[in-house]
Amino acid sequence: MPQYVISQCTDGTESSTSLPNCLPMSDITWGHTVGAFSLGGLVGGLATNFLNDYFGRRMNMIIAAFWNIIGGILSATSVSVEMYAVGRAFVGIAAGISGASVAIYVSEISTNRCRGAFGAFFGIFLNVSILISQLCGRYMSFTYVWRFLWAIPAIIALIQIGLVFTIVETPRRLCATKQNDKARAALAKLRNYGDIEEEFEAIVESRRQELNMKMVSMWDIVSIQSRRMSWNAFVVIVIQMYNQVGGIGPMSVYSVGFLAKAFGGDTVLATNVVLAQAGANIVATLIAVFLIGWMGRKGCMLLSTMGMTIGSVFIVIASALEDPGRLGPLVITGAILFSFTYCLGCAIIPWLIAPELLPLQALPAGAAMGNASNWLFNYLINTLWPMIDRDFGNYSFVLFAGINFGGFIFMLLFMPETTGKGIDDHDAASTKGPAVDNEAMSVDSIRQDEKIEL
């Protein structure tokens, strides 16, 4: 929403302070500054492969908050386009790190029955934050004040650092690093000091079995050292990809400009529709709390990709006929249907699926690759959208109709159902895909046995 105040200097260029009123840039350059956030997310997502291994989930959230503070300060005080873009990239790094770490943390502290609901609440807070951001964007999009938009996340991140110190590391992670006493205490706190013995012994036994296995690297997955592991990682990557590739970026980041064209230049109506979308997204995510348990992970993804396909078709039909008076309601219906069904599946399931399909020794690498695919397509779609919109005009969402329908077919044929499965029950969780292949791990297992005996 503050795009034109920042990039087109709609409030003038004269400044009474050392900071400029605006940062003049073309729409293409603006797209690249938006893409800098996604590119930072890609770097942060890949970095979690190592950060989750060395620092754990809890410390990673603190690291992400520091990146958020630095990026927010740079963006809020930027005096050039380059400085602004670097600030957005740093915030992207924070988002990339926290995206993987928080999702794993939520999965690892949850019980099997509540994991879907916990993941849905993760999505609820994301959508509440988006709504708050859009409200701030609407009423703070003028000279000087737009800089405070980037200071707000830095302040929130500072508060978050204090809050993270009140939580525990996941018991699963602590057991993996042989800190069993701390793991027991952490699990007791998470379960309100109830009876944890059976659950704790199951966690310890799972970690004991994994002592005979080496940590899986991204190269092991890419080079298919284990067909089963690589296939599951590929499914994770595709599902994470559909968090972004279906077109939610243009529908959110560029939605005001896109919808204004469909409404014949009415930016007020476009802004109101965007806020209505944000409200509908929160309602949809609340519904998903119950829907995940009833329809399952796979059912929610099928419903989501098909709904986004239909929403895209509605938008194309209404936009192509260029009659805002009569077909405006169809555009609104398509836009809200698109966002609403996105929140029922594609907004939530990608953050739950990695721990449910990948064992602990493959989780850092697999989650990092999935998170990286998410951010890569976030970067590509958001950076290329201004050119797609320019070249294809009212038919731009035909692309997303095809992509989402392709996702529906993939989920229908290849996505396993993991609802109700424990995050250590990976044999049961992978009901589709190539057969189990453990030969590639046998030599490493023997070597590990020899080391343990010595």
Q: Does residue 416 fall inside a structural domain?
A: yes
Q: Does residue 294 fall inside a structural domain?
A: yes
Segment 396-417, tens digit of pLDDT: 889 999 999 999 999 999 999 9
Q: Does residue 330 fall inside a structural domain?
A: yes
Mean pLDDT, the chain, whole residue set: 82
Lowest mean pLDDT among 203-217, 268-282, 345-359, 434-448: 434-448
The domain total for the chain is 1
Q: Does residue 176 fall inside a structural domain?
A: no
Residue 133 is predicted with a pLDDT of: 83
CA pair distance 93, 64, nearest whole angstrom = 7
Predicted model pTM: 0.73
CA pair distance 115, 118, nearest whole angstrom = 5
Cβ atoms of 48 and 368 within 8 Å: the answer is yes
Q: Does residue 183 fall inside a structural domain?
A: no
Q: Does residue 41 fall inside a structural domain?
A: yes
Give the domain CATH number at 380.
1.20.1250.20
Q: Does residue 248 fall inside a structural domain?
A: yes
CB atoms within 10 A of CB 442: 10
The answer, yes or no, to whether residue 106 has pLDDT greater than 90, is no
CA pair distance 61, 59, nearest whole angstrom = 5
What is the span of the domain harbouring residue 88?
A: 23-167+213-453
Structure tokens at 106: 């939520």
Structure tokens at 311: 């929403």
Q: Does residue 40 fall inside a structural domain?
A: yes
Cβ atoms of 2 and 140 within 8 Å: the answer is yes
